[in-house]
Amino acid sequence: MIVSVRLNNSEEHSCSGTILTAYYILTSADCVDGASDFEVSIAAGIHDRITDFAMIRYPHEIYIHPHWNKSDGTYRNDIAILRIFPPLSIPGGFSLARTCISYTNSKNETINYPSAGSNLVVVGWGSTRY
């Protein structure tokens, strides 16, 4: 469910990402802002930040939220989606899986998901507050 986002052809962890599908990774805009496709890599199938073996993929497209503004200091709209190819091999085991996404039938259900008072879990290897 979690991947390591690496920058500048490095093997070092820079940011975390979440597997949405075999083709799409969700990460922060702050992580990839200003980077070109060939400067970013995705390492999947690792369980800590120092593991050497990983499935490596590269984004073919980077979509940054259109209202992301790094200089405003609020981290508002700090979201990006990376389209990778070839897709990740997600065998259905416990070591690599996509995140759970609600399948809703209407725009209203999507806007109200998750419902107020829901317990949520945050995964990643980064800071949880600023």
Per-residue pLDDT of 68-107, as tens digits, reads 998 988 888 999 999 999 998 876 555 666 676 666 666 7
Going along the chain, which residue ranges are E strands? Answer: 2-7, 15-19, 24-27, 40-44, 55-57, 59-64, 80-84
Q: Has residue 120 been placed in a domain?
A: no
Q: Has residue 52 been placed in a domain?
A: yes
Q: Has residue 18 been placed in a domain?
A: yes
What whole-number percentage of the chain has pLDDT above 90?
29
CA distance 38 to 8: 8
Q: Has residue 118 been placed in a domain?
A: no
pLDDT at 119: 77
Domain range for 104 is 2-111
Q: How many domains does the chain have?
A: 1
Which pTM does this prediction carry?
Answer: 0.76
Q: Which two tokens stand for residue 41?
A: 């890599």
Q: Has residue 130 been placed in a domain?
A: no
The enclosing domain of 50 has a CATH number of 2.40.10.10
Q: Has residue 91 been placed in a domain?
A: yes
User: Beta 24-27 vs 15-19: how paired, if at all?
Assistant: antiparallel
pLDDT at 91: 66
